[in-house]
């Protein structure tokens, strides 16, 4: 090693890890406090990446510690786009945010010029990523995403690790909202061991997995066949087979089992429209006013807690979901005690994703 201080400053440490576990390693290094976020993750070999660190890690597994020699890497998307000849006006139209989910970068491309160049710049910025997907929205009864590969090898299947929970998914087939990260973690924190939980709209296990890892017994219901396949895979991936009971069904068809046996201590309603007044439905009793809230209350034990998600216009935030919950409970001759309200994120312009936590007597 040279004794020249300026040369030593350009020799920075990196931990070499296998590509498939790069996201897990990054989160572990962040937890240790040795991840260097001033530099980019770079490809090291065909099957590994070099993750920048400030000191050799003590708790994170790695193949070897190496020195990255050379100039300080570009840090921002703007820097990478300027290097590609973009003007300030064009950069103003570039994406301002994106999410790295395992080996996939998910980005709202908007009206950005030259999307493929944006994709290539994001791959340069995130050396652990292999595919960049432009997200165009969610539609249909099964909440299926519309995406487009704009850079990389095009593989949309990945495993994303978040607060120790592993989510296998195909981002071209199932939705995953990066903005719900804190809410997913919170559900794992508030549940008690051995609680009996009904997750009415489980998806790939967004809330089911953190709760099961915390010791709850979760009945997870999902009717989308693709999401259900990943739900089952994720239950095994996280080692919670004994605590999760997955059903591919309409949640309203599973609820009678709770009414006949032990009711749930906690019900999670993660579908934005679950609190809406009932549409015409031949299976619903004539006097029912709400399509899913009635089922949730039927499944919930006295004194149990309900977590109701809703997409609410800003002027109605918290008032509308609380009024709907109270109306449904009143029809069932039950009382509601609101425990907490939270704004999770902006769902769309003028509409917020909110959650109401309530105890139902």
Binding-site positions for S-adenosyl-L-methionine: 177, 184, 222
Residue numbers in the known binding site are 177, 184, 222
Contacts of 84 (CB under 8 A, 6+ apart): 117, 120, 121
Helix (H) or strand (E) holding 233: helix 225-237
Q: What angle do CA 143, 360, 205 make, to 5 degrees?
A: 30
63-96 b/e with 16+ CB inside 10 Å = b? Answer: eeeeebeeeebbeebbebbbeeebeeebbeebbe
State how far the Cα of 147 lies from the Cα of 7, in Å rounded to an integer.
Answer: 44
Contacts of 214 (CB under 8 A, 6+ apart): 188, 189, 191, 193
Q: Are 266 and 197 in contact (CB under 8 A)?
A: yes
**What SS3 state is found at 180?**
helix
């Amino acid at each position: 090693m040279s004794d020249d201080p300026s040369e030593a400053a350009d020799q920075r440490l990196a931990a070499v890890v296998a590509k498939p576990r790069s996201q897990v390693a990054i989160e572990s290094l962040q937890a240790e406090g040795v991840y260097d976020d001033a530099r980019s993750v770079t490809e090291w070999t065909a099957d590994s990446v070099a993750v920048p660190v400030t000191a050799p890690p003590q708790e994170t597994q790695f193949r070897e510690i190496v020195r990255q020699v050379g100039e300080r890497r570009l840090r921002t998307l703007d820097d990478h786009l300027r290097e590609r000849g973009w003007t300030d006006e064009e950069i103003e139209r570039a994406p301002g945010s994106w999410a790295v989910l395992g080996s996939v970068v998910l980005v709202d491309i908007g009206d950005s010029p030259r999307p493929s160049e944006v994709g290539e710049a994001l791959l340069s910025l995130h050396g652990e990523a292999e595919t960049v997907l432009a997200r165009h929205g969610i539609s249909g009864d099964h909440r299926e995403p519309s995406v487009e590969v704009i850079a990389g090898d095009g593989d949309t299947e990945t495993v994303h690790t978040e607060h120790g929970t592993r989510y296998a998914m195909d981002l071209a087939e199932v939705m995953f909202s990066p903005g719900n990260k804190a809410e997913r973690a919170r559900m794992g924190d508030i549940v008690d061991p051995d609680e009996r939980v009904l997750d009415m709209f489980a998806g790939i296990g967004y809330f089911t997995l953190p709760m099961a890892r915390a010791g709850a017994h979760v009945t997870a219901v999902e009717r989308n066949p693709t999401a259900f396949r990943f739900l089952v895979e994720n239950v095994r991936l996280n080692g919670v087979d004994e605590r999760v009971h997955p059903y591919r069904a309409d949640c309203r068809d599973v609820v009678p089992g709770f009414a006949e046996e032990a009711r749930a201590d906690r019900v999670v309603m993660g579908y934005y429209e679950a609190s809406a007044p009932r549409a015409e439905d031949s299976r619903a009793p004539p006097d029912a006013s709400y399509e899913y809230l009635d089922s949730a209350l039927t499944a919930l034990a006295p004194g149990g807690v309900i977590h109701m998600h809703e997409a609410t216009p800003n002027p109605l935030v918290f008032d509308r979901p609380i009024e709907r919950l109270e109306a449904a409970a009143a029809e069932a001759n039950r009382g509601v005690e609101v425990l907490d309200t939270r704004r999770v994120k902006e769902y769309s312009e003028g509409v917020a994703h909110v959650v109401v936590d309530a105890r139902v007597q």
